[in-house]
Amino acid sequence: MDHIALPQTANSSFIGFHPKNHSHPLVREVSRTANSSVTAFYPNTPSSSHFRTANSSVTAFHPNAPLHTFREVIRHFSPAWFGINMATGALSSLFHVFPFVGHPRIMNTFALIFFFLNVVLFVLFSALTVARYVMYPQSLGIMLRYSPQSLYWSCAPMALATIVTTGISVVAQYWGFGGTAFIYFLWAIWWADVVLSFICAFGLFHVMSVYQKLSIECITPRWLLPIMAFIVAATEGQFMANTLIPLSLHNAFLTIGMSILMLVMGASLALMLLTLWIRRLLIEGIPDALSIITSFLPLGPCGQAGYALLIAGRNLKVTLPYGTGDFMGEADVGKILNVICFFIAFALWCFEVWWLLSAIIAIVDLFSRRLRIPFKLTSWGLVFPNGVHALFTLQLGQSLDSPIFRIFGAIHAIIVGLLWIGLTIKTVIQVFDGRIFFPSNPEEDWRNMTLALPLKGNRRQSEKTLV
């Protein structure tokens, strides 16, 4: 990125922010229009850490200065925080299914602890998100239209899905908490999550296609996030259906059908986007150090889709035949569909392995050139896709009764646990000094610091580019 685009607005001020040094090409001039100003400042300027201008509500901060008030924390809060929920939920599920343990009760105790931690974090992040858009309502529209942050909105329904999934498998099935009432409570939450997933998938796709200026060169695996919400909710639904089968076969079939609908839509769209991503890799090369973590994101849709197919096949094998229809009433239809689901799932696992090895090679190549991967909030996107791959591998080990799959799945699960611990330490450190609340992407820096600007009219016609 070699320029930043600034809107020309009346009666407003923009305070620019130079992220690294005085020679950086992002900000090299000061532009003034009628009743407005654009001011560039640098991190070494003592007075630039926190000040306001007369005709603006925009506040700029020194990039290394801590956030002094809770109001500033709320203002800079990002939906990417829900990625921590996704990672924590994946780790809870891994504790539940980990194969090599002498006392399953101990592992499921850890799974229960991480489940409650996940619930607390989700409530906290949801409250901060609501507070942000109540206190700064104009920031929602601006973020959805112009900021890459909008893609991370789909992390919220996926975070909720991890809570429901572990609530079913760990809390309801293993520990037997709540009985039938708790299961139907989780079923109601699943339907709410389905609605949120539809809103994210269709809404964000519409926003990207209509309001955001995109090109082939700016393709990123983050584009998969709205589609992944479909696939994660489908996996969640298959777990839910497995629990509903003894209670109500009608509700179980309804859940299975809706889950398969979302799975087919999500997986097909994800494969289309992955085709574009391969094209981008071949033409433009691998991402830079700031975005290299996104190379692991393709593991998510492939692994979740395969995982959902495995559970769907088992559910259909148990529930079919059903009725007297030409398809549903056939004697062996459940067994046939189970075999078909397994082979498609195994093909997706092979595809997922390809993406995993490609991402590892890209990381090794980066380190061989003595480049460092900086930590930022979106680094949590490394945990969930790898956690999904570990879960999928362990599930295949169970289906095939294969010790090889169990061993590789267990090794990957341990790596995911170590990643979670390392990222938690880094996050806690940067929460206390306030650095994590500042976006590290220069474009996002500008977007977030201009949340209060009264943008009017067509932004694409009113932009002024500073080279």
pLDDT digits (tens, 9 = 90+) for 232-290: 999 999 999 999 999 989 999 999 999 999 999 999 999 999 998 888 888 887 777 77
CATH placement of domain 77-437: 1.50.10.150
Q: How far apart are CA 98 and CA 387, in angstroms?
A: 12
Dihedral sign, CA of 344, 349, 351, 352? positive
pLDDT digits (tens, 9 = 90+) for 177-187: 888 999 999 99
pLDDT band at 9 (very low <50, low <70, confident <90, very high): very low
What confidence tens digit (pLDDT) does each residue in 334-372 have? 899 999 999 999 999 999 999 999 989 988 888 888 778
Token duo for residue 204 = 């964000």
Confidence category of residue 110, pLDDT binned at 50, 70, 90:
very high
How confident is residue 404, by pLDDT bands cut at 50, 70 and 90?
A: very high
- DSSP assignment, residue 173? I
Question: How many Cβ atoms from other residues are within 10 Å of residue 137's Cβ?
Answer: 9
> Among candidates 86, 41, 24, which has minimal Cα distance to 377?
86
Each as own residue / partner, the long-range contacts of residues 346-352 (CB below 8 Å, 24 or more positions apart, any chain) are 346/306, 346/396, 348/267, 348/302, 348/303, 348/305, 348/306, 348/309, 349/302, 349/303, 349/306, 349/392, 349/393, 349/396, 351/302, 352/298, 352/299, 352/302, 352/303, 352/306, 352/389, 352/392
The mean predicted confidence, pLDDT, of the chain is 78
Cβ atoms within 10 A of the Cβ of 59, count? 15
Task: Using only the alpha carbons of the chain, give its radius of gyration.
Answer: 24
pLDDT (mean) for 302-307? 92
If one counts every other C-beta atom within 10 angstroms of the C-beta of residue 364, the result is 9
Closest residue by Cα to residue 196 from 233, 242, 149: 233
The residues of the chain that CATH labels 1.50.10.150 are 77-437
For residues 156 and 225, is the Cβ–Cβ distance under 8 A? no
- 29, 67 contact by CB (below 8 A): no
pTM of the model: 0.76
**Tokens 């200065």, residue?**
65
Closest by CA to 379, choosing from 363, 358, 395, 393, is 363
